[in-house]
Structure 1
Amino acid sequence: MELVGPIFEMAKCMGNIACIYIDHHRKLEERMNNLQSTLDILNIRKSDVDLRIKVELQWGKVVKEEVEKWLQDVEKINDEVQIVRQKIQVCPYFSRATLSKHVAQKIKEVEKINERGSYPEPLVIDRPLTSGVRLQIGHLEGEISIKEKIWGHLMGDVVGMIGICGMGGIGKTTIMKHINNQLLKVPRFDKVIWVTVSKELNIVKLQRDIASAMNEQLPEHELERVEALMEILEEKRYVLILDDVWVRFSLMEVGIPEPSFQNGSKLVLTSRSIEVCTSMGCEVVKVQPLSKVESRNLFLKNVGHGVLNVPTLEPILNCIIDECAGLPLAIVTIAGSMKGVYDAREWRNALEELRQRVRSVKGTNIEIFEQLKFSYDRLKDSKIQNCFLYCSLYPEDWEIPRNELIKYWIDEGLIHEFGSRQVMCDRGHAILNSLENNCLLERVVNGERVKMHDVLRDMALYIKSTVGSRFMVKAGMQLRELPSEQEWTDDLEKISLMHNFISEIPTSMSPKCPIVSTLFLQSNQSLKEIPGSFFEHMHGLNILDLSFTGIMDLPNSISNLKNLTALLLQGCENLRYLPSLAKLVALKKLDLRDTSIEEIPQGIDKLVNLTYLDLYSKSLEELPTGILPKLSRLQYLVADRESTTLKLKGEEAGGLKKLETICGRFQELQEFNTYMKSTQGKRLTSYVLAVGQPQGYFWLKSNFVKDVILSECEVGGEAPILLPNDLRCMKICECHNMKSLSDISFFQRNETELRECEVMDCKGIACVLDLLSSPLPCSPLQNLEKLLLSGLDKLFTLVKAQEVATASTLYAPTSPGIFSRLKSFHIHKCSKIKKLFSIDLLRDLQNLERIEVKSCGLLEEIIASEEEEKRSTDHATMTFCLPKLRELALQQLPRLKMICSKHGVMICDSLSRIEVIKCPKLKRIPLYIPLHDNGQPSPPPSLKEIRIYPKEWLESIEWDHPNAKNVLLALMKYREKHSWQAIRSDI
């Protein structure tokens, strides 16, 4: 009997464990769907952050380190979720519970990263006053004596010009990057300038790059340019680092003053040629190969120390390190290709391959290429190898956008057609990750771009030269003329002339390139015309990119390129006409974005293999009926953004069953509903769908994720609208028959995925939500993060909860969860509203980060004071906590009397900025001000500034503490003549 109790407890415990196990097992699919939804939300936020960075990032600014770290974490979690997806596909039945628990942990990780990604303040900051650019650096193994020697020359007064010499891949650039960053920490120099010169020296580009680093511009005339650069540099004590110099040049011809003891400046060159350095008068510092110990340390750092746990591997590993001959680049790439390999047989085979390829060649460069080619060969998959080689088509040292590169890979057929474009994009990112992990590409710019080491680029071009077909790459070389026709040989497979200044193609030129498959002429903005004979002997052409050129029309010979699969014309603003495309039946991608074509190209209905079509053109007037049904394979369609006549038919668009991305407008609500009915059960990857008249403002601000725009159309009531279940962004403009969002059935659901909502110039809107007409257990807006209300003349309350005698007191307890995730609230030009937030509604706004109230003529109170007084019978201080609020902006509110009642205090521990502009009747800022032990006030630690206008308003403010004004005075700024000035201490 004594054993019964313990046995029972043990059984109970085992039962609990079994229940937990079964629960994990059963919820795998549900949790995976939740993980994907949470990740989608995170990636939407990342897209917003990327867009903001592009807008905010100007000269003299750098992205904040915390933002860079966050972007890296987003990339990392995306990769980890991709691994989870792969595991699920091969997961044994009895491992589902463990994997389900892992997915639940990932959901929490994604949510935490998402929470960190809220940045109401600018994402960029001014560069440090040390006036240099901090460079992204890798691990520097060894080279300590070399680095110290260079540093001694820089800090000394004897040597003014230093030449760092050594073979390609020896580590010259890495050493100088470390020194560059170290120089930024010392006050000896006014400016540290880094310029990459590369193989093809262009004096004008060199001059402009130096001037740009000094935040200066140079005149166009040559002599004036030299003189101006000389004057700019003479004013500073600088270190000028010229990386990768191949040929000697005259400092005086460029405009670089020769460094001397008098001016205190220094010049550093890195070059593969000792002759270049000596001929320019440099003190030569030669970079030697790594020692055996240093080589071993670097190899183990990149391959992982786990290989030492397999005793049979160490001798083989040492032999492979010997074959690398102390070359850091070879060590890193070869180690990267062997990472995760623990089979001694595979290591022996790798060693034998490496020995054979190195011993079979002579010549320093070729020997290096063969060492590096070992890592290329280990990729095994020929398509991944070709993806790597493809990167060599870009200019040397180019930072290549990941998404752009993947699009090219898809166009080229280097990524298997999986049916879904999204799957192909995911595969592209996986390939890029593989190339990065094998150290064949370097990740740069927050992981959004990749870079190819110049030696690896040379190796890629060397590989192509040994296989029977070649790449002709003269990208970014400042060319003003096309290469001569003799250079266009019949063994050319791909030709890249992108990012040059080519302005003309000779009218008689007709290159005989029968196997050329890719021709890149993009970003030659001066190129205005292509002769008809140019394409006559390029019948094998698959990819033709003329984007961002100045061409005005295309020759008729384009029509005969029957093998063409991608015709890319984005940004050809002068292009008005295309010849017939009827014969281009192989065409899969046609990009006419930002061209000036005025009509759909003839024969487009014959392009039955088309999967990608971008027709965004401000001049395009009509999309003829009957074309879309013939393009049944379309996966990506951008049909319109601003045009008043280009519109979609619901039935035609709905018939595109393979569509994943769509951007277009439906003239009538009925057409939109027809389209939505045809897509029920299908989730698009991204969309921007507009109904009614075009609104350029909304298009420009569209996230192009999952947006719907309603403009000048009747919705609600007897005019129902079918909206996507996964809608993320809703924009409504001039829909005057609506009285609230509750008129739309979409907002009568318990919960939606909506993250952003903008309602503008809707004359009938009286409230945002009407809970009387559709009482819900929870709010359809509980996931909303941004709400903008503008030009709503009848709006008198945000949430209508119960009928009362007067509209001004309409504040009953609301449905729980309304606006509970709201971060940004904007209300502009709503002339009828008098009171903004009820106390109950305020309690849901704990995630609010920004409040912006502008030009609301009758607004008297931000937080309803009548409610405060009713609830606080003894007139005790009532506190309101908005813990995440960072910015409060109040502008042009002539009747605003109070933010809250005279007994109310706002506790906002994150508040950094207050703005009060033209609010003459506001007499109190109810901000909680902490007190020192002696009872004197101190400014809230997070508060950085209080902006006011006019400055006289400051004199009328009543403060809760007599010394509060003096404490906050240093934070006060006022506006005068459209600029902000710090208030002087005598005010």
Structure 2
Amino acid sequence: MENIWSCISPLINCLTPCAGDWIAEQVNHVIKFEENLDRLKSDLVELKRIRNDLEPQVAVAEEQSMMQRLDKVKGWLSDFQTMETELTEVIENGIKEIEKNFCCGCPKNCCSRYELGNKVAKKLKDVANLKSKGVFEEVAQRLPSPPATVRPSEGIIMGMKNNLCEIWGHLEKEDVGIIGLYGLGGVGKTTLLTEVNNKFVNTTHDFDVVIWVTVSSNLDLDQVQDDIGKKIGLYDEIWKNKRPEGKKEDICGVLSKKKFVLLLDDMWERLDLLEVGIPLQNKQNSKIVFTTRSKRVCGQMDAHKTIEVECLPWGEAWDLFQKKVGETTLKSDPNIPELAKLVAKECDGLPLALGTVGRAMAYKQTPQAWKHAIKVLKNYAVRFPGMEKKVFRPLHLSYDSLPSDTVRSCFLYCSLYPEDSSIPVADLINKWIGEGFLNEWNDNEDGAENQGYDIIDTLLQACLLEKVSSDFVKMHDVIREMALWIGREYEKQTDKFLVRVGGRETEAPEISKWKEVKRMSLMVNKIERLIGTPTCPQLTTLFLNENSLKMISSGFFQSMHALKVLDLSRNTFLGDLPSEIGELTSLQYLNISRINISRLPVQLQNLVNLKILDMESTFCGQTSILQVISGLSSLQVLKISGVNINNEALVEKLDALKFLYFLNMTMTNASVFQRFKKCHKLQSCTRYLCLDSFSRCITFNISSLQYMKCLNSLHVRFWDDCEDWEIDWNVEGKEIETSNNPLNSHIRNRPCFHSLHSVSIERCQRLKNVKWLIFVPNLKYIVIEFCYKMEEVISRDEWMEAAEKGKISKPFAKLETLKFHFLPQLRSIYHSPLPFHCLKLLAVNECPALKKLPLNFDSAKEHRTVITGSRDWFDKLEWQDEATRNAFLPGSQINR
């Protein structure tokens, strides 16, 4: 090869410099072919090393850090792959060329050697260029966050699909920016919010980002801002250390330019969204959905829509329970499915409990195990596997979050009532007053009562009580068991409970078990005798109502000096009260209603601290009542309806009770009623009034009742002679100007019964109408029965007359229940259709002349009214139109 170069070198020197250099370079490709080929091999190995170092870095970044390789890295690796293929081919061809036979030191085919030499030289330059580009400070960049990230979920429960559709529908509305989901702990609010989040992953939408933040009970504004910052790309070490004000500005700066959804889970108190940095000016661009256990928080967050997440109905609860237990177990024994239903019902539709109990019962394949589970859940649910840790302790947070010890004590008190029972609100509050829970504003007025209603509202909003009606509440079974667990164990040092209710107890607990108990409930049992003298120095509450008591031994109450609340009501076989009951000088609440004692022990007058006495329908004689009442100087609440008052002296005794602010009573004598009307104090504190069997009363001026500002319920019965109830327009003698009258005339102010919400009229044989109901704007319940001459409730003429006297609105705006029984001549309720916004029940029985109801299609909007009656009566009804009939037909319960 050197000989060749020595031969041609002089010739090259004779050429021009440029041409010579080019020829020299080309000759050099041939002469240094083997050397260049070895260099190319080495360069390929080095490139592979760079590639081998680069690919793991890229893989780690992509898999662990949610990053994406840079385009230049992607391009380099692609170029390397192409280069590797080309170099491998050139090197293989070069090796083959070298292996060819040489003649006289020269290759057999110089042209072939020349071409390969050129390729090798070119590839050396390409490799050098690729190596220079293979140095990267960063190999990947963070991926732009997707609008929403999938969150793990077991899947939506069938019963929540309607909730999900409702939420999604509101999110699509321009006028809805904030949506609050509230409900009992463990009911599935987080599951539902998770499904909302995941729907954004799987559904086409125009939101730029969906942000999830778990708030929890210990609200941390800084942590909320950090979670949002991570989602919208603000979070780093520098931003993490910023002050909240700075983070607020940054968050607002980013989100004000985006369409976003903010999902806030598990809120316990108001979160100031503006302080976080959330812009709220545009409801279309900013959507906030949050979950909470408290409806109160929905109000504090200014939610445009609130949705209650309720427990599952039985069918869906049973489906969920079966899923958790498993088909194998349910089919392992023919008796297990029915037993499993009993177990599932103890969970009362609460998904958290259904899941916990269902998983615990998986592979329990003997009927005996299921029977044992039923017994444990009914009697002491905390001992069931998983209940304390997975159900009661999470629910306990709701108890802890209540605003005061007073509210917590009132909540625990509700667990003294039986499972699934409707608890009378008024009676519950009276017992709280008797316990001394409600005495912050005890100024001998109704301040404590108002405080009680406020606490009821607090517990309702915290989803720890459920509303049955305006007068009754109930406690969810699982919440009740949690409350009993708190009362029995969690706070056993201060507030120990003993509760055996709603069962078949025929005897009171052994005397030895009374010693450390503070509150005992034995209501709704079959206990017949109370004997012995239990020692119970701490006992403040004793419920013995709704038993079969026939006898209470004389020494039974002897050692109950701390007793404040005693309920003996509805023991219909109890003929006498022991005189020792008068020694319970700490007693503040006593309920002896609906028992058949013939007389009150005179010793009851010694109960000088008694605030509430309920003796409704206890026919013990007015003489003994007179003897007792005189000593009860602290009495605030007295219920003696059902005890016929026909003694004016008793009215005077009642009027002398200095602190009385709540009175329920029955009067059977018109002269006594006249005496009552002169007692302004009694009129002002009467809540329920029954006027019974007024004889020789042809007309009655209903206007005389308007001074009873607190009258809630009026019951009139057995007025055989009364033909009309009159309204006296001049009863107040007060004139008012009517500014909209062109003559600026004066009209007499009409009587109006604002507090009255319940009216019952029974056996008023000659009464033809009840036109005065026009002036009862807040009526909720009307019952009229056995009034054989009743023709109309309110006629057109009566309404027009009233309208001329003063401006009135259409009646029955708040009516919930309307019942007519045995009114053979009733033909009209009202002359035109009414909205009936609140009507739930319209019951008609034996009213054959009533052919038309005051209903039209609008009366059925946004609610469902149940109409009950006979098939024959219903089929003959004359409807406003077919649309009205179709609107009310689904809710009707027609008797064959």
TM-score (norm 1): 0.43
TM-score (norm 2): 0.47
Q: Bigger radius of gyration, 1 or 2?
A: 2
Higher RCO structure (Cα 8 Å, ≥6 apart): 2
Q: Which structure: greater helix fraction?
A: 2
